[in-house]
């Protein structure tokens, strides 16, 4: 089920989930490790949207959009003309993290559709996604345009 985090506790759960997934990606054995979150580092306000995908109450994917972030330097680096930056509202999706054991292609597409629809409703004209190289081909298969790739440097 797709939803936005509605409490600081849900945001803490998202932070802990991301920490666990990042540890797995780095090959760190987290079994027996107690992950914690510094309460002062958890930001829960109306300017950040914390997207979550849960199945049977279990968190299996998250993403984040900071609506206050002024991204002009980043957009310029991506080749987006300053005039377009003033004319349109852009948003970057960060920390798109999933538990690959449970997150199928169909669920990934459903989650992306939910994110895009939510941001469109919030007045965002264009959504950009920060992504690991391994997922770029999947995004291309959906018809998304690749603006910049670290592999292309």
Exposure string (b/e) for 99-123, b if CB count within 10 Å is 16 or more? Answer: beeebeeebbeebbebbeebbeeee
pLDDT at 153: 45
Q: Which CATH number belongs to the domain containing residue 28 in this structure?
A: 3.40.630.30
pLDDT at 145: 80
Segment 2-26, tens digit of pLDDT: 999 898 889 888 988 888 887 776 6
Placement of tokens 């680096």 in the chain: 77
pLDDT along the chain (153 residues), means of 10: 89 86 68 52 71 92 84 81 89 86 86 92 88 80 75 46
Q: How many structural domains does the chain have?
A: 1
d(CA 52, CA 2): 6
pLDDT at 51: 94
- Domain interval for residue 115: 2-152
């Amino acid at each position: 089920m797709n939803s936005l985090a509605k409490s600081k506790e849900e945001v803490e759960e998202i932070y802990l989930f991301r920490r666990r997934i990042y540890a797995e990606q780095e090959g760190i054995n987290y079994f027996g490790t107690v992950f914690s979150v510094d309460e002062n580092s958890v930001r829960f306000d109306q300017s950040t949207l914390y997207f979550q995908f849960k199945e049977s109450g279990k968190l299996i994917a998250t993403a984040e959009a900071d609506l206050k972030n002024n991204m002009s330097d980043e957009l310029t680096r991506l080749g987006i003309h300053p005039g377009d930056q003033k004319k349109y509202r852009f948003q970057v999706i960060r920390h798109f993290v999933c538990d690959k054991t449970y997150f199928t292609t169909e669920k990934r597409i459903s989650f992306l559709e939910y994110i895009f629809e939510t941001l469109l409703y919030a007045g965002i004209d264009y959504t950009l996604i920060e992504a690991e190289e391994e997922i770029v081909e999947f995004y291309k298969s959906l018809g998304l345009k690749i603006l910049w790739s670290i592999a292309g440097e």
